[in-house]
Amino acid sequence: SFMAVELLARGVEGIHQTALPLSENQVIRLGRNPQSGWQVGWDRLISREHADMRWEGDFLRVQCLEKATNPL
């Protein structure tokens, strides 16, 4: 059956917030300014292209990219 979730990113200050619907097995690139994917431009601690995320059943698989300058 089809299942979708919504991811929510919030900045520490509370003024920055964005939501992203994510379907099962869809891969989304997270970063400050990715070529394609989920842009979280206010977070200066993540890289331009930081991690790939994929919803797998009951779990969100997040893989930090090798070129990311900070850990997740």
Work out the pLDDT band at 2, boundaries 50, 70, 90: low
Work out the pLDDT band at 3, boundaries 50, 70, 90: low
How much is the pTM? 0.81
Cα separations in angstroms, 53 against 14, 36, 64, 69:
23, 13, 9, 17
Pairwise CA distance, residues 12 & 56, whole Å: 28
Work out the pLDDT band at 13, boundaries 50, 70, 90: confident
pLDDT tens digit sequence for 30-70: 999 999 888 888 888 889 999 999 988 888 999 999 999 98
